[in-house]
Amino acid sequence: MVKILFIGDIVGEPGRRAVKELLPRLRRQHAMDLVIANGENSAGGSGITPNTAAEIFSAGVDIITSGDHLWDQKEVLVLLQNESRFLRPYNYPQGTPGQGSVVYQANNQAPVGILNLQGRTFMPDLDNPFIAARAEVERLRHKTSIIFIDLHAEATSEKAALARMLDGQVSAVIGTHTHVQTADEQIFPGGTAFLTDAGFTGPHESVIGREVEPVVKRFLTLQPQRFTVATGRILLQGAVVEIDAHTGRALDIQRVSEALVEKAG
């Protein structure tokens, strides 16, 4: 059996701190073989840099995925060109720097294929993720029976449809991007674990990670506001998926929502 912890969108310094302080215990508690985290909001709440990626890796994350905020920090090119553990959405046009999938093997466990996709409904118009997924999953299945997908998308129907299309061909499809953890974890008939959205790792006394007042003011006035990262009630959210190492079928999926207890003084 292979156990994978997926961590939902890491938002800013509070999110990175939650990973640093909570992940070591979670790895021990659940005997994790692999940890994947979406890090596209880890740098000041928007984008990712080599420094924030290094902080996340040093906390115990094995693979970092991303999404529509990929280009928010210009330093991301260094990661795309030099870091094999960092993924951008696979369905960017051919010739885009970086990689959208990887086969990773840790601790003498079975190899795991990780695929990062981005949806198109209410999102930037990338290549069709359904067509891209079919081709890449077929290629990955020649290398491993265990395939994990981070689908970074807005529409719940798009996430569910892609997961249903790949049922029995991949081990898990976990959604990211909306920053709201859903309560629909399940295993489809073909053995694919699914969760519409993993939630986010960061401050939840907020509007999806940002200070409340400027977001409300933006909706009231339509005037531009600076959306700073909030600070209160920090949670690490995501999901634990147990997978049969031989068949690649998911055996169990459990949501994770762990609070970071702030130290007094």
Structure confidence at residue 29 (pLDDT)? 87
Question: Is 194 inside any structural domain?
Answer: yes
Cα Rg of the chain, angstroms: 17
* Burial letters 134-169, b for 16+ CB under 10 A, else e: eebbeebeeebbbbbbbbbbbbeebbbebbeebeeb
| pLDDT tier, 188 (very low <50, low <70, confident <90, very high otherwise) | very high
Average pLDDT of every residue of the chain:
95
Residue 218 counted as domain residue: yes
Q: In terms of pLDDT, which residue wins out, 49 or 108?
A: 49
What distance separates the 2 farthest-apart alpha carbons in the chain? 56
- Report helix, strand or coil for 77: helix
Q: What is the CATH number of the domain that holds 196?
A: 3.60.21.10
Residue 175, domain member (yes or no)? yes
- The domain tally of the chain equals 1
pLDDT of residue 265: 53
pLDDT at 144: 97
**Pair 203, 11: CB distance under 8 Å:** yes
Whether residue 69 lies in the annotated active site: yes
> So what's the pLDDT on residue 106?
79
Q: Which of 69, 152, 177, 179 is catalytic?
A: 69
pLDDT in tens, 38-82: 999 999 889 999 999 999 999 999 999 999 999 999 999 999 999
Does residue 264 lie within any of the structural domains?
A: no
Neighbouring C-alpha atoms within 13 Å toward the C-beta of 38: 41
Residue 13 binned pLDDT confidence (cut-offs 50, 70, 90): very high
The pLDDT assigned to 264 comes to: 57
Query: Which residues pair with residue 200 across a beta bridge?
Result: 9
CA 253 → CA 6, 138, 160, 220, 242, distances in Å?
11, 24, 16, 40, 6
Q: Is residue 222 part of a domain?
A: yes
Give the domain extent around 161.
Answer: 2-259
In percent, the amount of the chain with pLDDT more than 90 equals 91
**pLDDT tens digits, 217-262:** 999 999 889 889 999 999 999 999 999 999 999 999 999 999 998 7
Q: Is residue 254 part of a domain?
A: yes
Q: Write down the pLDDT at residue 45.
A: 86
